[in-house]
Amino acid sequence: MWALFKARNYEFFRDRAGFGWNILFPFLIVAGFGVIFSSDSGSDYKLGVFPVKENKMVLQDLHLPDKLKIYKHIKIVPFKTRDEALDKLSHHKIDILLENAGPELKYWVNDSNPKGYILEKVVKESIIPEESFAAKVIRQEIKGDQIRYIDWLFPGILGMNIMFSALFGVGYVIVRYRRIGVLKRLKATPVTAFEYLTAQLVSRVLIMLLSSSVVWFGCNFLFSFRMHGSYLDILVVFFSGILCLVSLGLVLACRGTNEELTNGIINFISWPMMFLSEVWFSIEGASDFVKHAAKILPLTHFLSAARKIINDGATLSDVSSEVTILLLMSFVFLFIGSVLFSWTK
Amino acid sequence: MIEVQNLEKKYNGHRAVDRISLSIARGSCFGLLGPNGAGKTTTVEMMENIIPQDSGVILYKGGERDRTFNQEIGIQFQHTELLAFLTVEETLKTFAAFYHKHLPVEEVLAMCMLDNIRKNMNHKISGGQRQRLLLGLALLNDPELLFLDEPSTGLDPQARKHIWEIILDINKKGKTIILTTHYMEEAESLCDTIAIMDKGRIIEQGSPESLIEKHCKADGSPKNLESVFLKLTGKNLRE
């Protein structure tokens, strides 16, 4: 088993393209998001204005309510002609379109754009004087550390990288080994399926813990993430999550010699996980069915536990339910994978 | 050493191996010949315990094959890849670790003339070097029973000659060898017993000399194994 473990590690570290990509990919994603969210290009709402004749728009010269010119998270996009602007509106490139003419506020919206609906309310509100409702509303701000999107996103990116690395690095690779006869060659030796699968599992779990640590500290150096929990607790969560996803990879790899089919199955499993397990965005507002469906996915529990520790400072006992589910899932996946495993079929 | 009785294997209703029986004595070099699709590889892979038989019995040393079987046999497959990013030496060391007892890796490197490429990665060695490495892997545990599935296919004459010398040397040490090949000259030079298969059945069996004597005597055809083979399996293309 030790020999197989060593051999698998050599394979991983010497395949420089694959190894480099495993480390580089999450760096690039986090770096990309860091750039996007540190500049104003991340404005959530885009308000188009026409006609604006000058090449360089002067905000104060526009015939718009003053409030609209100072709102945060609204980017004003100028257009020379109405046709050009309407085309952008119909293609969701802007969320609302205002005419830059006179005291009357004339605007266009795209009914299929939810942001346009909200922005329409904002545009209407902008012509109401602040004093008319100021006494009726009470504004309060939350205190203490606020979680930046990049802090929330970071565990998701790591989890996504681990998921792809586990499913493709184990599932796809073993199917390829079966097709090209590597497994058949091993079957001709005294090595048992249990020894082979255990070596694969242990090698992959350790490699992914190591590569995730490298990505973690690299990204932390660049973006100064806020870690509110204990490093030991997050290590346990990552171990459980990686173990579970690698075990799922072993289930996918237990049979078959068709790499295209395996590729399709892995995509079929990984894409729903990517969206439903809240890698990129929360599904808080989704239907109960979607939320329940997300709970059968291991990545959901992994990311939930990781975010609770990283973002909220939870302890291991606070995430014990997630860790237990991950370990139980690992056990079930390992059992299925080893029972169904075939060297040659 | 190994005996098969009424061995049968079907693929999608097609009988690839049709109730064959064989008995291979300890220390012999047994050649299994046949045209493409005759069932040679299927037969050998059932004997190797790589694929299960549909029916029939395989006895090793007079009994069922148990967990020691894989410790005592060596196999060189016809088509197989190795872990791409291991060196030749590491590959041998990795496989050596699977066995309770094995030859020193240095000895196998020298025997298969792999010394000068020991540090080369598997994905960077030539076809002939790969074939020698595969043979080295099959010999690592100093097997009592060695299966060689077309061991010299794709090799140049020098490399083929070298492989033959290794096989003869192993056979002289009393090891049992089961060999499949398309090269009649190879079978004639190495094997003391030959079985010719066609359409899943063994159609003739004996020593090379007896087969030549029996089938090339009357009609004046060249006295070699190739004439015997063509006479028994026909001249039509297969597959």
Q: Is B98 on the interface with A (CB under 8 A)?
A: yes
Q: Give me the count of residues in chain B.
A: 239
Residue A105 burial (10 A CB sphere; 0-12, 13-18, 19+): middle
pLDDT at A115 over 70: yes
Chain A residues 4-63 with a CB less than 8 Å from chain B: 4, 6-7, 10-11, 14-15
The percent of residues in chain A predicted with pLDDT above 90, rounded, is 37
Q: What single DSSP character describes residue B2?
A: E
Q: Has residue A43 got a pLDDT over 60?
A: no
pLDDT score of B157 more than 80:
yes
Q: What pLDDT score does B218 carry?
A: 65
In a domain, B239, yes or no: no
Quick one: pLDDT band at residue B219, thresholds 50, 70, 90?
A: low
- The whole-angstrom distance between A3's CA and the closest CA on chain B is 5
> Closest partner residue to B90 among A10, A185, A343, by Cβ?
A10
Segment B183-197 mean pLDDT: 89
Flag if A2 and B97 touch (Cβ within 8 Å): yes
From 1.10.1060, 1.10.10, 3.40.50, 3.40.190, which CATH number describes the A43-134 domain? 3.40.190
**pLDDT given at position B238:** 60
8 Å CB contact of B121 and A6: no
Q: Where are the domains of chain A?
A: 2-36+146-340, 43-134
- Check whether A162 has a pLDDT greater than 60: yes
Shortest distance between the Cα of B193 and any Cα of chain A, in A, equals 25
Count structural domains, chain B: 1
Instruction: Provide the strand spans (E) within B128-200.
Output: 145-149, 176-180, 193-198
Percent of the residues in chain B that have a pLDDT greater than 90, as a whole number: 46
Give the percent of chain B with pLDDT over 70: 96
Complex ipTM, two decimals?
0.85
Residues of B in contact with A257 (CB under 8 A): none
Highest mean pLDDT among A6-15, A16-25, A60-69, B84-93: B84-93
CA atoms within 13 A of residue B106's CA, in its CB half-sphere: 0
- Give the pLDDT score at A36: 65
In a domain, B200, yes or no: yes
In this complex, is the C-beta atom of B51 within 8 Å of any C-beta atom belonging to chain A? yes
Q: Which domain holds residue B169?
A: 2-233
Partners of B67 on chain A (C-beta within 8 Å) are 190
Token readout for A57 is 């728009």
Is A208 in contact with A276 (CB distance < 8 Å)?
Answer: no
Confidence of residue A34 (pLDDT cuts 50, 70, 90): low
Torsion of Cα atoms, B101 then B77 then B157 then B215, to 10°: 110
Within a 10 A sphere around the Cβ of B239, how many other Cβ atoms?
5
Looking from the CA of A109 toward its CB, the CA atoms found within 13 Å total 15
Task: Check B97 against A190: CB less than 8 A apart.
Answer: no
Task: Tell me the residue type at B120.
Answer: N
pLDDT of residue A47: 92
- Greatest mean pLDDT range, A127-141, B46-60, B78-92: B46-60
The C-alpha of A175 sits at a distance from chain B's nearest C-alpha, in angstroms, of: 13
Could you tell me if A171 and A262 are in contact, meaning their C-beta atoms sit under 8 angstroms apart? Answer: yes
Q: Residue A190: list chain B partners with CB under 8 A.
A: 67, 70-71, 98-100
Higher pLDDT among residues B140 and B223, named by residue:
B140
**Out of A53-67, A82-96, A326-340, least confident range:** A53-67
Q: Which of B77, B85, B99 sits opposite A185 (nearest CB)?
A: B77
The rounded mean pLDDT for chain B is: 88
- A285-294 tens-digit pLDDT: 788 898 899 9
- Domain harbouring B190, CATH code: 3.40.50.300
Tell me which of A1-5, A286-290, B196-200 is least confident.
Answer: A1-5
Residue A45's Cα: distance from chain center in Å?
A: 22
Which range, of A311-325, B25-39, B206-220, averages the lowest pLDDT?
A: B206-220
Rounded CA-CA distance A140/A38 in Å is 25
Min Cα separation A302/chain B (Å)? 32
Question: Is B77 in contact with A2 (Cβ distance < 8 A)?
Answer: no
- For an interface test with B, give the residue of A2, A11, A19, A189 to mutate (most B CBs within 10 A): A189
Average pLDDT over residues A250-266: 86
Task: Give the gap in angstroms from C-alpha B217 to the nearest C-alpha of chain A.
Answer: 42
Whether residue A151 has pLDDT greater than 90? no
DSSP string for B34-103: --TTSSHHHHHHHHTTSS--SEEEEEETTB---TTHHHHEEEE-SS----TTSBHHHHHHHHHTTSSS--
Note whether B88 and B120 are within 8 A (CB).
Answer: yes
**In terms of C-beta density within 10 A (0-12 exposed, 13-18 middle, 19 or more buried), how is residue B164 classed?**
middle
* Distance (Å) from the alpha carbon of A144 to chain B's nearest alpha carbon: 51
Work out how many CB contacts closer than 8 A connect A with B: 64
Quote the pTM value.
0.77
**Of B117, B1, B106, the residue nearest B59 (C-alpha):** B1
Q: Which amino acid is at B224?
A: N
pLDDT at A134: 81
Residue A187, chain B, CB below 8 Å: the answer is yes
Contact (CB<8Å) A190/B71: yes
- B89-145 pLDDT, tens per residue? 999 999 999 999 999 999 999 988 899 999 999 988 988 888 889 999 999 999 999
A17 CB burial (10 A radius; 0-12, 13-18, 19+): exposed
